[in-house]
Amino acid sequence: MGLFGNKEKKLIEALTILSKSVLQCIFSVAEAITTSLKSEKEKSLTEEQDYSIKQEMLCFYLHYLDRIAIQEGGEQYYAWLQDNMVLTCSELLVELLFDTKNVAEDFDAQQWETRMVNECVDLYNKRGQEYMSLVLMEEGKIPKDNAVFGKLMFNINEILGKDKINNFNMMIEVPLWVMQSASNIKLNDQVRSLKKLVH
């Protein structure tokens, strides 16, 4: 019983670290986008745009974890990781971005927070299907990773309200920022290490 409890504790700790790492990547890339826009003397992001970009990055990084999980442990590990990461990361994102403690007495913060979390989960489900359809497509002239990053950039440009052709530098920079953040925090290694605790 003691051994089982110890393993379960390590599993929870590893999941907590991984979810916080995902959020760290999200905020790092969002900050890089904001800095890039300022350097180009663009208008600052609105709060809504900033949140939407973080939502998109949440979906992308969860998809990134999905792909690693499939490679490392197949469909079973992929499904397990989804069950344990999607809701947790969505809740953490909402918790970090919004202060629901200092609100008016007649405001139902819990209901509002639940709605925001559900919106994140729904968007992940939608984006996850879109990204996976690109990954599973027949081999063609466009490499699969390029197609996935292209979809991410299309979504970001939709939020910014900019034509992707006029935003060519960011088209190149964002994928680099995304992968650099994942590399710096060793997301791949964390997913592999977590698999050893699961099985």
For the chain, the structural domain boundaries read 2-198
C-beta of residue 120 within 8 angstroms of C-beta of residue 94: yes
What is the value of pTM for the model shown?
0.88
Of 8-17, 40-49, 80-89, give the range with the top mean pLDDT.
80-89
Q: Which of 145, 148, 170 is nearest to 160 (CA)?
A: 170
Q: Residue 35: how many CB atoms within 10 A of its CB?
A: 10
| pLDDT tens track for 128-184 | 999 988 887 655 545 578 889 989 988 998 888 865 445 667 778 888 899 999 999
Read off the tokens for 25.
């990547």
Phi and psi of 105, rounded to 5°? -60, -35
Read off the tokens for 138.
């027949």
pLDDT of res. 164? 47
Read off the tokens for 69.
């999980």
Residue 148 has, within 13 A of its CA and on its CB side, a CA count of 23
Of 114-118, 138-142, 194-198, give the range with the top mean pLDDT.
114-118
Reported as type and span, the H/E element at residue 197 is helix 187-198
pLDDT level of residue 44 (50, 70, 90 thresholds)? confident
C-beta of residue 156 within 8 angstroms of C-beta of residue 34: no
Better-predicted residue by pLDDT, 66 or 145: 66
Percent of the chain's residues with pLDDT above 90: 51
pLDDT of res. 24? 96
Q: Which of 66, 39, 52, 15 is nearest to 155 (CA)?
A: 52
Answer whether residue 121 shows pLDDT above 80: yes
Does the CA dihedral 121-176-186-188 come out positive or negative?
A: positive
pLDDT of res. 107? 65
pLDDT of res. 2? 46
Token pair 């007495």 is at which residue? 105
Average pLDDT (110-131) is 93
